């Protein structure tokens, strides 16, 4: 019999022994999940709003407002906000909700959970302050300077400790597949963050990396690519494996497929980073390795997509009435599309055209808006009624969100494909005398400005959808009961303990 | 394989051992990075040295940090690829040995504006001064924002030595004398650029402003491969002590 650190805020007597130590009464910490859900929505709105602003700054330079709000300073704020604040809080909500239920134990420590929550929000606020001030390392998705990097490491370690100690307290012997993905996330993000952030400080706001040139470029894209892998893919696959079967009320399609695609995904993903450096000064053997593993990555990625979509076998009719399942189907489909597109873009001959153009921007937004966004929205629409113990305020509004978001996303992605391919072809065009057909770079920019406007409209629609979600959740919470005790459950104390 | 993945197979066992599972995951994710990174550090032929490639001068270093502060790398790459159309448009493709003093690397991932690796010496100093003040004055349809504050804000000359000291610790071959005289050296190079701007008919009194640092940096970019004399001539500098350039 293990003891559990389970002080329930609601006053449920945690771990009380009933009579002869045969029944445990325990509870889940859902308050922390509510916090993370609200933070997800708040930062989602902020991050996407900054996205719309920088989308406007490209066709309309008047939107560059002074020294602190230029495109160059706001773009990292947008990427950091949507990745680490929006998607970050979403995966923490998913992990805190599902882990407790999958292991039948409360999170190890309420204090550590709260420290994780407030620490992470403080890091986000410090990013929102330092990036416009020009305090940046310039390394993509790792722009934050060294004091914030240290704070990230500390908060992440507390999060990891809280998670693993909860696993230790588990009352289910075997870990469900979602937990495998959470483990991979926690370990790998820690390794990547520390590895890429190693730097020597000059002052509190400036540091130089210990790597230079080619090595720095390699390490950065080892990190950058695997931030996509282990911050935006593996935790969301874990989320999918828990929340999709719950919403569809169907078991996962294939246990064997989940084993095969999990291990191949975590092994292969790490090798793929150098495809961001095709044809650069990185030695060719490295980019060829990166390209080869990127193409191999297609299969484990589609293993996840197939396991997700086939879980809906016999449940497709439920899509008509369930906005949650609608969101998941679009989310998983976009996962499949972007994990096909990614390997394709990594192939050198394709990359020669696409690299440095908006095609890359279109590609990441297919993944970010489609997969990360819609999986998050689906989870929130499923979770909010459970966490606040009341029906969703408006199903209709949620369905409207679904359609507005989908249309916005399609406008975004296809305008960027058009712009990227157009500009890529113009850069490489020669006239019949063998000279560049468009020797002035600006000609190739003027050509794609209309697409920048379409992109901005698409992004604004997507943001509007998120605002509808925020409004719907606010209205739902307004009619929720005042008292929200942590859900309690009873188990025979002879249940498995590690 | 079948024994491993069947419902009551061997994988089922490690699903009950979180520690073992976590160790196996850790090993799986370490392999790829180690195999790809170690040769870049250990095998010298991966990054062949180029004799003429030298560390940044103090002023250029300060300019480079302004480039980083403004996030220029979000719209401009610094990596000419070995394609005919890129060599035609930008100049010689970038060699690994040219990048050894780039901390951090600034190769970029998006060309909203053109690549800048070979921009050194391509335009006169005054062109850059005007372009930063209003990009439309040199490229009429440009979508780049104005950087008017470069001509207004004072450059922090005294902080440069500290930066060079940090870089020296990391292995950049700056001598102690160079670090001690960093501010003076930077002021000399700044004065030369400011004089050249005035001589070409541009605004006066720029020698203490940020603009001269960023111009010095851009004028140095990608020029070392032509030999050090070419790079100083292009930047309009003649009195920078040898060894720092």
Is the distance from CB of A60 to CB of A98 less than 8 angstroms? no
Count CB-CB contacts under 10 A for residue B169.
12
Residue B51 maps to a domain: no
pLDDT digit string (tens) for A303-334?
A: 999 999 999 998 999 999 999 999 999 999 99
Query: How far is Cα of residue B224 from the mean position of the Cα atoms in its chain?
Result: 13
Q: What is the 3-state secondary structure (H, E, C) of chain B?
A: CHHHHCCCCHHHHHCCCHHHHHHHHHHHHHHHHHHHHHHHHHCHHHCCCCCCCCCCCHHHHHHHHHHHHCCHHHCCCCCCCCCHHHHHHHCCCCCHHHHCCCCCCCCCCECCCCCCCCCCCCCCHHHHHHHHHCHHHCCCCCCCCCCHHHHCCECCHHHHHHHHHHHHHCCCCCCHHHHHCHHHHHHHHHHHHHHHHHHCCCCCCCCCEHHHHHHHHHHHCCCHHHCHHHHHHHHCCCCCCCCCC
What are the mean pLDDT values of chain B's consecutive 10-residue runs (245 residues total)? 80 94 97 94 91 96 98 98 97 96 97 97 97 96 97 97 98 97 98 98 97 98 78 42 39
CATH of the domain at B188: 1.10.760.10
Residue A200 maps to a domain: yes
The upper half-sphere exposure of residue A174, i.e. CA atoms within 13 Å in the direction of its Cβ, equals 11
- Nearest CB to A183 within list B21, B69, B85: B21
Q: Residue B96: which of B76, B79, B74 has the closest Cα?
A: B79
Contacts of residue A336, Cβ cutoff 8 Å, sequence gap at least 6: A301, A302, A305, A309
| pLDDT band of A496, cuts 50, 70, 90 | low
pLDDT digit string (tens) for A18-72?
A: 444 577 789 999 999 999 999 999 999 999 999 999 999 999 999 999 999 999 9
Query: Do both B174 and B227 map to the same domain?
Result: yes
More confident residue, A3 or A472: A472
Tell me the CA end-to-end span of chain A in Å, nearest whole number.
Answer: 9
- Contact between A72 and B149 using a beta-carbon 8 Å cutoff: no
- Contact between B104 and A255 using a beta-carbon 8 Å cutoff: no
Peptide bond into B104 cis (omega under 30): yes
**Sequence-ordered strand ranges (E) for A181-267:** 199-203, 206-209
Tell me which residue range forms the domain holding A266: 14-480
Is A428 at the interface with chain B, CB within 8 A? yes
Query: Do both B64 and B36 map to the same domain?
Result: no
Tell me which residue range forms the domain holding B132: 58-239
Tell me the chain B residues in contact with residue A188 when contact means C-beta distances shorter than 8 Å. 25, 29
Kind of pairing between the strands at A488-492 and A206-209: unpaired
Is the distance from CB of B142 to CB of A444 less than 8 angstroms? no
Residue A216 maps to a domain: yes
Is A108 at the interface with chain B, CB within 8 A? no
pLDDT digit string (tens) for A130-157?
A: 999 999 999 999 999 999 999 999 999 9
CATH of the domain at A467: 1.20.210.10
Query: Do both B74 and B193 map to the same domain?
Result: yes
Q: Residue A28: which of A469, A479, A383, A375 has the closest Cα?
A: A383
Residue A489 maps to a domain: no
| pLDDT band of A15, cuts 50, 70, 90 | very low
- Contact between B110 and A356 using a beta-carbon 8 Å cutoff: yes
Query: Do both B28 and B127 map to the same domain?
Result: no
Rounded CA-CA distance B237/B221 in Å is 14
Residue A493 maps to a domain: no
Rounded CA-CA distance A463/B51 in Å is 53
- Contact between B99 and A213 using a beta-carbon 8 Å cutoff: yes
Is A352 at the interface with chain B, CB within 8 A? yes
- Nearest CB to A174 within list B16, B96, B112: B16
- Contact between B166 and A356 using a beta-carbon 8 Å cutoff: no
Residue A6 maps to a domain: no
Phi, psi (degrees; rounded to nearest 5) at A23: -125, 130
- Contact between B109 and A282 using a beta-carbon 8 Å cutoff: no
Residue B113 maps to a domain: yes
Tell me the chain A residues in contact with residue B81 when contact means C-beta distances shorter than 8 Å. 279-280, 352, 355
- Contact between A267 and B31 using a beta-carbon 8 Å cutoff: yes
Report the residue of chain A nearest B148, measured CA to CA: A67
Tell me the chain B residues in contact with residue A219 when contact means C-beta distances shorter than 8 Å. 37
Rounded to a whole number of angstroms, the CA Rg of chain A reads: 23
Is A408 at the interface with chain B, CB within 8 A? no
Residue A9 maps to a domain: no
Is A431 at the interface with chain B, CB within 8 A? no
Query: How far is Cα of residue A109 from the mean position of the Cα atoms in its chain?
Result: 25
Chain A, 241 to 270: residues with Cβ < 8 Å from chain B are 255-256, 259-260, 263, 266-270
Residue A494 has pLDDT above 90, yes or no: no
The dihedral over CA atoms of B62, B65, B70, B76, expressed in degrees to the nearest 10, equals: 110
Query: Do both B65 and B102 map to the same domain?
Result: yes
Residue B52 maps to a domain: no
- Contact between B162 and A58 using a beta-carbon 8 Å cutoff: no
Query: Do both B194 and B80 map to the same domain?
Result: yes
Query: Do both B40 and B64 map to the same domain?
Result: no
Residue A411 maps to a domain: yes
Predicted TM-score (pTM) of the model is 0.93
Residue B245 maps to a domain: no
Beta-bridge partners for A201: A207
Number of domains in chain B: 2
Rounded CA-CA distance A469/A327 in Å is 13
Query: Do both B160 and B208 map to the same domain?
Result: yes
Q: What is the pLDDT of residue B243?
A: 39
Query: Do both B65 and B136 map to the same domain?
Result: yes
Query: Do both B29 and B63 map to the same domain?
Result: no
Rounded CA-CA distance B68/B166 in Å is 17
Report the residue of chain B nearest A74, measured CA to CA: B71
Number of domains in chain A: 1
Query: Do both B11 and B112 map to the same domain?
Result: no
Tell me the chain A residues in contact with residue B40 when contact means C-beta distances shorter than 8 Å. 214-215, 218, 283, 286
Is A313 at the interface with chain B, CB within 8 A? no
Is A453 at the interface with chain B, CB within 8 A? no
Which three-class secondary structure state does DSSP give residue A436? Answer: strand
- Contact between A281 and B79 using a beta-carbon 8 Å cutoff: yes
Q: What is the pLDDT of residue B3?
A: 79
Q: How far is CA A479 from CA A95, A263, A392, in A?
A: 26, 44, 10
Query: Do both B175 and B233 map to the same domain?
Result: yes
Residue A418 maps to a domain: yes
């Amino acid at each position: 019999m293990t003891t559990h650190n389970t002080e329930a805020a609601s006053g449920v007597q945690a771990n009380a022994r009933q009579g002869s130590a045969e029944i445990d009464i325990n509870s889940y910490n859902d308050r922390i999940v509510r916090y993370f859900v609200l933070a997800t929505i708040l930062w989602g709105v902020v991050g996407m709003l900054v996205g719309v602003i920088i989308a406007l700054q490209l066709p309309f330079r008047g939107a560059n407002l002074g020294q602190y709000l230029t495109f160059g300073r706001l773009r990292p704020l947008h990427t950091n906000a949507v990745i680490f604040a929006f998607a970050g809080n979403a995966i923490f909500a998913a992990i805190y909700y599902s882990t407790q239920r999958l292991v039948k134990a409360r999170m190890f420590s309420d204090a550590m959970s709260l420290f994780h929550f407030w620490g992470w929000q403080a890091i986000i606020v410090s990013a929102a302050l330092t990036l416009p001030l020009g305090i940046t390392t310039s390394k993509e998705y790792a722009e934050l300077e060294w004091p914030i990097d240290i704070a990230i490491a500390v908060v992440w370690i507390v999060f990891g400790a809280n998670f693993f100690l909860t696993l230790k307290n588990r009352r289910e012997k075997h870990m469900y597949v979602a937990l495998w993905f959470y483990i991979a996330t926690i370990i790998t993000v820690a390794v990547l963050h520390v590895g890429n952030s190693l730097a020597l400080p000059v002052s509190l706001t400036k540091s130089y990396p210990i790597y230079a040139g080619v090595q720095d470029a390699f390490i950065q894209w080892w990190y950058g690519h695997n931030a996509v892998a282990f911050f935006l893919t593996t935790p969301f696959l874990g989320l999918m494996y828990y929340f999709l079967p719950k919403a569809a009320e169907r078991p996962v399609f294939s246990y064997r497929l989940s084993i095969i695609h999990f291990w191949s995904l975590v092994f292969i993903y790490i090798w793929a980073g150098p495809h961001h450096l095709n044809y650069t000064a990185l030695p060719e053997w490295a980019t060829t390795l990166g390209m080869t593993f990127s193409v191999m990555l297609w299969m484990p990625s589609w293993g996840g997509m197939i396991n997700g979509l086939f879980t809906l076998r016999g449940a497709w009719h439920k899509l008509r009435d369930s906005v949650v399942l609608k969101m998941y189907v679009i989310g998983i489909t976009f996962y499949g599309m972007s994990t096909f597109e990614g390997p394709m873009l990594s192939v050198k001959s394709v990359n020669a055209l696409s690299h440095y153009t908006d095609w890359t921007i279109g590609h990441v937004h297919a993944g970010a808006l489609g997969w990360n966004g819609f999986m998050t929205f689906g989870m929130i629409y499923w979770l909010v009624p459970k966490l606040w113990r009341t029906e969703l305020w408006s199903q209709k509004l949620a369905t409207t969100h679904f359609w507005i978001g989908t249309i916005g996303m399609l406008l975004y992605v296809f305008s960027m494909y058009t712009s990227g391919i157009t500009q890529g072809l113009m850069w490489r065009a020669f006239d019949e005398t063998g000279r560049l057909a468009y020797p002035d770079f600006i000609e190739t920019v003027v050509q794609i400005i209309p697409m920048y406007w379409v992109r901005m409209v698409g992004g604004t629609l997507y943001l509007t959808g998120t605002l509808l979600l925020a409004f719907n959740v606010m209205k739902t919470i307004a009619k929720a009961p005042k008292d929200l005790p942590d859900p309690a459950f009873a188990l025979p104390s002879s249940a498995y303990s590690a | 394989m079948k024994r491993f993945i069947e419902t009551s197979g061997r994988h089922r066992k490690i699903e009950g051992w979180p520690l073992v599972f976590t160790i196996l995951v850790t090993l799986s994710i370490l392999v790829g990075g180690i195999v790809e990174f170690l040769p870049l550090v250990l095998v010298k032929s991966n990054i062949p040295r180029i004799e003429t490639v030298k560390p940044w001068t103090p002023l250029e270093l300060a300019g480079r940090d302004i480039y980083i502060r403004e996030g220029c790398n979000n719209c401009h790459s610094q990596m000419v690829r070995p394609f005919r159309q890129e060599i035609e448009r930008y100049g010689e493709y970038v060699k690994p040995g040219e990048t050894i003093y780039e901390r951090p690397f600034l190769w970029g991932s998006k060309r909203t504006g053109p690549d800048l690796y070979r921009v050194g010496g391509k335009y006169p100093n005054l062109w850059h001064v005007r372009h930063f003040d209003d990009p439309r004055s040199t490229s009429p349809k440009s979508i780049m924002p104005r950087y008017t504050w470069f001509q207004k804000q004072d450059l922090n000359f005294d902080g440069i030595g500290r930066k060079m000291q940090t870089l020296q610790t990391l292995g950049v071959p700056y001598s102690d004398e160079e670090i001690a005289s960093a501010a003076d050296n930077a002021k000399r190079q700044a004065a030369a650029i400011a004089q050249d701007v005035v001589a070409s008919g541009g605004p006066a009194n720029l020698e203490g402003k940020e603009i001269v640092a960023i111009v010095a940096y851009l004028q140095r970019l990608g020029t070392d491969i032509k030999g050090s004399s070419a790079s100083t001539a292009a930047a309009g500098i003649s009195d920078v002590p040898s060894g720092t350039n």
